[in-house]
Each structure stands twice: as C-alpha cells, then as structure tokens.
Amino acid sequence: MRRQCYGIGVLLAVLWIAPLHAQEPTGSILGHVTDEASQQPIQGATVTFGSHTTQTKVDGSFLLTGIRAGTDTLRARLIGYSPAGQLVELTGGQTATVDLTMAVKALNLSEMVVIGYGEQAAGNITGAVTSVSAEEFNTGRIVSPTELIQNKAAGVQVVENNEPGGGTTIRIRGSTSINASSEPLIVMDGVPLGTGSGSGISAGRDPLNFLNSDDIETITVLRDASAAAIYGANAANGVVIITTKRGRGAPKFEYSGSVSASAVTRLPTMLNASQFRAAVTQYAPQNVPQLGSANTNWFDLVDRTAYGQEQNFAVSGSGTSNNYRLSANYLNQDGIIRGTNTQRVTLGVNYNQLLFKDRMNLRFLVRGSRARDQFTAGGVLSNAAQMGPTQPVRDTSAQTGYANWAINIQSPDNPVELLNLSKNQGTTFRGLGNVSADYSLPWVSGLKANLSLGFDASKAERVSFSPSTLHGQIKNGNFGNYNRQNPSQLNQLFESYLSYAVPRNVGPGTLDLTGGYSYSTSHAEFPSTSADSLSTDLLGIGAIPAAKTIKSTQFVDESKLISFFGRLNYNINDRYLLNLSLRHDGSSRFGAANAWGTFPSVAVAWRLSQEPFLKGVASLSDLKLRGSWAKTGNQAFGNYLQFSTYTVGDAQAQYWMGNGFVTTIRPSAVDPNIKWEATNSFDVGLDYGFKNQRFTGAIDWYSKKTSDLIFNVPAAAGTNLADFVTTNIGSMQNKGLEFSLSARLLEGGRKGLSWT
C-alpha cells in the first residue's frame, strides 16, 4: 500500500512539474484533409509535422498541438492516396490553419474497415479480413442477413435450409468443435448477439431473422484467429461484424419493395403408378392386394411455388453535428412446402450526436421485431417419398377423411393429412439496443475514452399439436401430442476502453494502443409443457387438454464473462505493420481452477509494393505479405458442466426401504476440472492488386488446431457417478488454402461493374 502511495505521489509530482519545463511558447496546426476529386473529407489519414503525428476524424479534421516554433513540412499520408505536403512556418503561440488535398491512387485500400473495438484502413489490416458493403450484397429473396454474403468471402460457407425463417449455418474455415458450437460470434453495432458463439434464441430456426437486411451497411468477416483474437473466448469460430446504416446528407425518404417467387427446380425421380404397380407385381406379388387404383404424385401435393413480398421504408439525414435514420420493414414469405410461412415486422432507430465542440460522439440505436412462423409438420417430405403412388389422397370411411395404409409400425403416413391436421407455429419478439460514446480527452492529445452499454432481449413461443386420430399418432401409441415452449433470454453488456494514438513518432513509425474491460451477463429461461394421449382434439393449439401424461419442465441458465483486452498497432510508413493483441477472459462456465483463459495473437505484414525493387512495376498497385499466429477459445456449450445435476427416478428406478419403495435421486457424473477448448491458428497470406486496384485478391494458407475438445466419454468403473462423463479429450485440425479474385471498374472514385 505504501509503495502504491509513493507511486501516485511521484506521478502527481511529474504532472505538476512538467509544465514548469515548458518555458518555450508552442503553437498548433489545425485543418482538414479532403479528396482532391470529390472534395469529400478523408478519415484516418496520418498527418505529421516533425515528430508530431495525428489522424484525421470522420469529417477529415485534424489538430496538432504543443509544436515548437520553426519551419517544416506538414504531410498527410493514407494508403490508397498519393501523399500530400505543404511547407508551414510556425511561430510561438500561433495556431496555423492548413488544409490539404490528396489524390486517389488505389481507393479501396483507404476504405475504413470495422474491426474489433475500432476501425482500420483496409490496406493496413494484418489479418485475413473480408468486408462486404451494401453495394456488393447478394440481391433477390433475402430472409436472413447471412444470405447477403453467401459466396462472397473465401473460406466462408453459408448454407440455408430453404425453409422461410429456417436456419442458416455459417462455417468459417471449417468446424472447430464436436460438442460445442461451430457458429461464429456475431457482433452487431458493438453488441454480441446471443451468448458465446451463435446468435440467441428464437421460435424459428434462425435467430438472425429479426434483422432487416435493408438496414445493413457492411458485413465484415474476421476469418483468421489473429483478427478475431481480440474477442478471446468466443472467437474460435471466427467473428462476423454487422454495421447498420447511418443518415448522410440532406433529409431523404427511401422506399424499396420486392415480390419474389421460389419453386423447386429438381425433385427426386420416383416411379409413377403404373411403374410402381409393375414393380410390386414382379418383385412382391404377395403385396398386390394392398395396391390402390389411384395415380397420385405426392410431391405435387406437398410442394408449391412460394410467393413473397418485402416492403422497406426509411427516413434519414444529417446536420452539422448529428445524423439519424429511422426504418421499418415488413416481410411475408411463403415456403416451398405448403403451409410454411414467415411474417416479420421490424423497426429501427439510429442516432448520432456530436457534443462538447465535437469532442464527444454519442451514438444510440435500438431494433425491435416480431416474427411469426408456420413450420413444416414433421415427416412431410419423407412420407411423400414413401407413400405409394397407387394410394388415393382421400378416404371417406376414415376417421380423418384421409387414406392411409393399415396400421403398421413401418407404414408411412399420408403427407397431406400431416399438412392439414398437424399444427406447428411460433412467435418471436426480439429487441436489441446500444448506447455508446467516445470522448477525445482535451488534456492528452490522441487519447480517446469509449463507453458502451448494450442489451439483447428475446421472448418466443413455439406450439405444436398432432391430433389423436392421425395415422402416425395411432401407429406410435401417442394418441395425440401437444407441446408448448416459451423460452426467453436477456443479455447485457458493459464495455469501456481507451484508445491512444501516440501524438509523436515512436522510432521510425506511428503507434496506437487500445485497452479495455468488458462485462457481459446472460439470463435465459426455458419453460415447456408437453402432453401425450390427449382426451380431446377440439382445443387444438389453443389450450392443454386433459391427457394421460402431462410433463412440465423449467430450466434456467445464467452465465457471466469478464474480460480484459489490449491491442498494439505499429506502422512504419504503411510498409511494415505489426499487430499484437491480448485478451484475458473469466467465464462462469468453468470451475474455479480453470475459469480464466489468456488468448494472445501476433500478426505482421510487409508491403512489398512499397519497396524500391517493385516500384518500377507500373501495373502493380499493391502487394502485401502477411503472417500471423493466435490462440482463441470456445465456451459455446452448456452451463454448469462442472457441477452434478440430479435426476428424480421413475418407477423402474425405485428402491425398497422399510415397508415400501422409495424414489431415487441420482447425481450425474462430472469433471470439476473441465476447461476451455483452445484453438491455435497460423495464417500466411498475400494480398495483391493491379491497375490501381481494378484487379484485387488474396491467397491464404491456414492451419488451425483445436485441443482439449469437450466430449462425452466412458468413465472407468467406480471412478465417477455414471458410465459417461463430459470432459476435455482429444484434438482436431483444419488446414486450407483460400484464393480470391475481384475486378471492378473505378472511375473517379466511383464503383461501376464488378465481379468476384
């Protein structure tokens, strides 16, 4: 404690005495950096005067302070632009105003890309990062926003199941786990969606359906571990960062609408009625009496041309110190299987305000949605393939009015009966919000404080009903089934970090630092009720009738994640680049001995195109060699795995004690030392560009190995409380080679025809 007091005393003394040595009057330089052709402000340009350095803000402005009197050249530099400079003579106590213009050289290298906790010029990124803007998104019928980047990024697989509101699977450089999730972490405007990897809960199969794709400005995929490592424990499967649109320019009203039609283009080749009758006659003559006289194409009865419509409205604009965007969306999309449908209504608000002489940028956003889904009854497609084409659809003598085979455990069900009599539907309400602010501290040039508060709340209801008269219910002995689930989840986030762009050169290059703290919590509840052998079918999905078996469960999950993180970027004239990051995570999903994990990364890049031996190659606009190593973690699996759970026994697991049977309560097997799954990754890449970046691309080789895989394995007899236990065992490895090539027509900074 005494040492801490001494240290604080020395620091205060230094801060008090330091001004006494600044006897010489100093001056300042302020101004703007703009694009020579478009006259638009340039963000992120490095401005230097002697040993002083800073970066331009969003509006292209810059300020250099504490400069000794003298004459030197004020220089502006940004990858993708030709350097600009102007001689400035500065006297003591003077504030000089100097504006600089820069000419485009290779525009897409200077575009700002959103990375974890900040932005960076695309040309200076040291990891494998792909950013896709709204102009490059896939068009057509889009339900989930992940479909916008399908086939747009090398090494990223987006697979949809073609059901409206159905789930999409995202795999970035393959799967990294067996029992834990392999879905990437999705971050929207600074708020992680869901808990760990994944994107939250929903009555549907894709929790991201609550997002309106028309609101999205960019989707950035952090493909390699060095780019994603700043997110630590949740980054083993990569990171997808979604940034929504802000208002720009004069107030404007936007409307877009679309109508779509989807149809099955290829179906399985099946026997028609005459072919089926001939096959049965030849190969199973004993079954000929079971054949009907109909000619039924079951696939034609369950599929359809699915129509959809989407309407988007938005009002946006900006003033001298603020910008805003309000949006609304309505989607109604049928599925190619009859009876399936999703309807979605979303509302969104984005607002930015500059305060305190533009030193503070306050950002506010909120999103809300309601989605209603009608789902495919279980087994419709499989039964359409199995049901014989000689069987009719209807049977007036049957209780349900639909024809079926005689009751047999192996007999298929009439798929039209399933579609018309079974019910499976859900409703999801989702809300997401974030309030964040960054403040440029006036007493330390280049130091910025950032604060973010966010939430992600969802509530869903999923109801399914199968009447007791269904062929399948009679066949399996259930005689009617009702199931209701009402999951809800609330995630809360607090993050605070400092970013410091050192105002003087450190050695031959510039240095910027980021360091912060993150605290997130998740509370989820999963109540459900199921009933079998229903006493009546009249209530449908409206209420739970009396039944032979009624079972209610209530699961509650809570988790917390505490994190400390830091990053260092060192840049020598956009030629030699270094990135170091470190994250220290503590998760409640592990026992005390393994609650904390450390996840470091290192990445370097060398821009060969800046070297003298390649500057003579006129057609070469960019050539950058990258290399990285990083360690990331995965905590996307169940809570409380280090603790025993207790199961109440049924009638088959009772124990005779005294004068009667006693119901048992059995603990589960556990490994109290269960810990993180850890992924170590290597990446070597080459970014290239020709003809002023008209032709661009990258080649990447990567290798990632996941160790301490969480798996359910047999336990040695007498060593635990059950035959199987969940623990860390084994490893898996992915290796790959990625190649991408894009071409675009650039004219005066504008984008024309392009292909990838």
Q: Could you give the CA distance from residue 515 to residue 118 in angstroms, rounded to a whole number?
A: 11
Residue 231's nearest CA partner among 592, 590, 638, 635 is 635
Amino acid at 194: G
Q: Which two tokens stand for residue 171?
A: 């795999």
- What does DSSP say about strands 731-747 and 129-133: parallel, antiparallel, or unpaired? unpaired
Q: What is the pTM of this model?
A: 0.86
Strand residue runs (E) in 116-248: 118-121, 129-133, 156-160, 168-172, 185-188, 191-192, 216-222, 239-244
Amino acid at 183: E
Q: If you count DSSP H runs as helices and E runs as strands, how many of each does the chain have, helices first?
A: 8, 41
Burial category of 336 from C-beta neighbours within 10 Å (exposed 0-12, middle 13-18, buried 19 and up): middle
The pLDDT assigned to 163 comes to 74
Per-residue pLDDT tens over the stretch 265-278: 888 889 999 999 99
- For residue 396, CA distances in Å to 289, 393, 474 come to 20, 10, 18
Q: Could you give the CA distance from residue 283 to residue 470 in angstroms, rounded to a whole number?
A: 31
Per-residue pLDDT tens over the stretch 112-136: 888 889 888 888 899 899 999 888 8
Q: Which residues of the chain have pLDDT under 70?
A: 1-24, 107, 162, 165-166, 195-198, 205, 409, 745-754
Q: Report yes or no: 451 and 399 within 8 Å, Cβ to Cβ.
A: no
The pLDDT assigned to 619 comes to 86
Amino acid at 354: L
Long-range contacts of residues 111-114, Cβ cutoff 8 Å, at least 24 apart: 111/80, 112/43, 112/44, 113/220, 114/218, 114/220, 114/241, 114/243
Q: What is the DSSP string of 73-124?
A: EEEEE-TTB--EEEEEEE-TT-EEE--EEE-BSSGGGT-EEEETTEEEEGGG
- For residue 128, CA distances in Å to 421, 457, 732, 754 come to 51, 32, 21, 21
Q: Could you give the CA distance from residue 598 to residue 589 in angstroms, rounded to a whole number?
A: 15
Q: Which two tokens stand for residue 172?
A: 């970035």
Q: Which residue has the tokens 């910027």?
A: 512
Q: Could you give the CA distance from residue 42 to residue 35 in angstroms, rounded to a whole number?
A: 6
Strand residue runs (E) in 573-676: 576-587, 596-607, 620-634, 646-648, 654-657, 660-663, 665-667
H helices present in 481-562, as ranges: none
Q: Could you give the CA distance from residue 637 to residue 196 in angstroms, rounded to a whole number?
A: 8
SS3 213: helix
